[in-house]
């Protein structure tokens, strides 16, 4: 470890701790954040929920992102039933002033949130796991759902150990572009493990769920999809109740920033210290059918995450960026789980690889 790296790490750690002390985590503010009326189109306020039943393989994920300015709001709804049929929302972008088919209510910050969907969905056809609108007629889907938190709300910009993030940032080359990218693209991202109880009605058929393993996230601040080179966000709910998160992010001025943690009994049991280069995972412009990678936590634990994608749904962000949202089966040291494998790509393929 060079003297230059140590110095950069100390500077970054000091900056992070100073920011946290000056602006500590406020649960109520974080949970009920609203986009300012004068915010431009780069501002984002996104809620995301996902539940997975490892026995029946039923899965659901839901997302609602309000955007500032005249940018279109973003809506996702995807449901996979026990028979393997996948339904996904007919539209995923809505003009300002247009009624959206979703609602979100923070009933009790950090403990209880309710959310709904009411709209038309495609019955997907599969092509190598990629869901596309099928030949079957569209169906009306109604959902009422309730999320109950099991873990504390985790804010990655304030609860992640400063040393972990300082190391990741110290590895980068500190150019003017890099400093500007860190300042201009900062956003708050929180996550929480919990359960979802829901009623999902597909035409005349009703599916009921009680306390299914789930997680949620909430992100707000600046998010310019066109500035991303690409990213990988992988989160799994394991059969014993554990949960893990690993993420890789790349910008034009940033080779790779890693983050993540492992939860046991609803509490952090290690934070990501090292991940491989994202270039070591298959680069296909979508979620790969399967992959594996090594993870090292700051408590010394090392393990391999293996995943096998079951299906994916692609979302296009006004031709600026594409996200392939995969639902996958996981294995860690013989322990099995189910969750999300999200791979995002800029349309400019020359920006995909850098050799982190």
Q: Encode pLDDT of 296-309 as tens digits.
A: 999 999 999 999 99
Half-sphere exposure in the Cβ direction for 86 (13 Å, CA):
24
**Per-residue pLDDT, 185:** 66
> Around Cβ 350, how many Cβ atoms within 10 Å?
7
9: confidence class by pLDDT, cuts 50, 70, 90:
confident
Percentage of the chain exceeding pLDDT 70: 98
Find tokens 């946290």 and name the residue. Answer: 20
At 49 the pLDDT is 98
The pLDDT tens digits for 22-36 are 889 999 999 999 999
Residues 6+ apart with CB under 8 A from 123: 85, 86, 87, 134, 136, 137, 138, 139
Cα–Cα distance measured from residue 257 to residue 222, given in angstroms and rounded to the nearest whole number: 17
SS3 251: strand
pLDDT at 356 over 70: no
Which of residues 33 and 356 earns the better pLDDT score? 33
DSSP per-residue string spanning 201-247: EETTEEEEEEEEEEEEEEEEEE--GGG--EEEEEEEEETTS-EEEEE
Binned at pLDDT 50, 70 and 90, residue 3 comes out as confident
pLDDT at 268: 96
When computed from its CA atoms, the radius of gyration of the chain, rounded to whole angstroms, is 20
Q: Helix (H, G, I), strand (E, B), or coil: what is residue 28?
A: helix
- Picking from 129, 36, 160, 68, the residue whose alpha carbon sits closest to that of residue 325 is 129
Lowest model confidence (mean pLDDT) among 7-21, 158-172, 208-222, 276-290: 158-172
Strands 267-274 and 254-264: antiparallel
Mean pLDDT of 325-342: 97
Please report where in the chains the tokens 């004068």 appear, as a residue.
38
The answer to whether the CB of 178 falls within 8 A of the CB of 172 is yes
> Over the stretch 94-148, which tens digit does the pLDDT of each residue have?
999 899 999 999 999 999 999 999 999 999 987 768 899 988 999 999 999 999 9
Confirm if 94 and 72 have CB atoms less than 8 A apart: yes
pLDDT for the residue numbered 355: 56
Tell me what pLDDT residue 167 has: 79
Q: What is the pLDDT of residue 269?
A: 97
Give the pLDDT score at 165.
Answer: 78
Q: DSSP string covering 7-26, please?
A: HHHHHHHHHHHHHHHHS---
Nearby residues of 334 by Cβ (< 8 Å), 6 or more positions away? none
Residue 270 has pLDDT above 50, yes or no: yes
Domain boundaries along the sequence of the chain? 3-351
Q: Mean of the pLDDT values across residues 347-353?
A: 96
**Tokens at residue 73, please?**
């709001």
pLDDT at 257 over 70: yes
Percent over 90 (pLDDT), the chain: 77
191-242 pLDDT tens trace:
999 999 999 999 999 999 999 999 999 999 988 899 999 999 999 999 999 9
Q: What is the pLDDT of residue 8?
A: 87
93 or 224: which leads in pLDDT: 93
């Amino acid at each position: 470890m060079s003297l230059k790296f140590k110095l950069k790490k100390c500077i970054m750690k000091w900056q992070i701790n100073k920011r946290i002390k000056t602006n500590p985590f406020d649960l109520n503010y974080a949970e009920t954040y609203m986009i300012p009326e004068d915010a431009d189109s780069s501002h984002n306020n996104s809620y995301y929920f996902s539940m997975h039943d490892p026995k029946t393989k039923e899965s659901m994920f839901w997302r609602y992102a309000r955007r500032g300015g005249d940018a279109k709001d973003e809506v996702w709804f995807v449901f996979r039933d026990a028979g393997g049929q996948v339904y996904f929302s007919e539209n995923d972008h809505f003009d300002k002033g247009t009624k959206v088919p979703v609602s979100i209510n923070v009933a009790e910050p950090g403990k209880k949130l309710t959310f709904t969907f009411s709209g038309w969905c495609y019955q997907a056809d599969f092509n190598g796991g990629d869901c596309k609108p099928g030949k079957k007629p569209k169906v009306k889907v109604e959902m009422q759902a309730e999320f109950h938190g099991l873990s504390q709300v985790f804010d990655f910009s304030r609860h992640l150990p400063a040393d972990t993030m300082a190391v990741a940032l110290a590895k980068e080359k500190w150019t003017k572009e890099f400093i500007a990218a860190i300042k201009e693209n900062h956003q708050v991202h929180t996550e929480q493990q919990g359960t979802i109880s829901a009623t999902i009605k597909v035409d005349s058929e009703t599916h009921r769920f009680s306390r299914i393993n789930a997680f949620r996230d909430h992100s707000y601040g600046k998010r310019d999809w066109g500035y991303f080179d690409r990213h990988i966000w992988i989160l799994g709910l394991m059969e014993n109740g554990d949960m893990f998160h690993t993420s890789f992010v790349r910008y034009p001025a940033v080779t790779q920033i890693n983050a993540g943690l492992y939860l046991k009994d609803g509490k952090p049991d290690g934070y990501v210290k090292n991940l491989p280069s994202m270039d070591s995972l298959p680069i296909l412009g979508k979620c790969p059918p399967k992959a594996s990678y090594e993870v090292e936590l700051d408590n010394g634990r090392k393990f391999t995450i293996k995943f096998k994608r079951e299906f994916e749904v692609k979302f296009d962000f006004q031709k600026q960026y594409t996200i392939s949202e995969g639902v996958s089966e996981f294995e860690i040291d013989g322990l099995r789980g189910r969750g999300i494998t999200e791979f995002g790509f800029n349309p400019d393929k020359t920006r995909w690889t850098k050799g982190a």
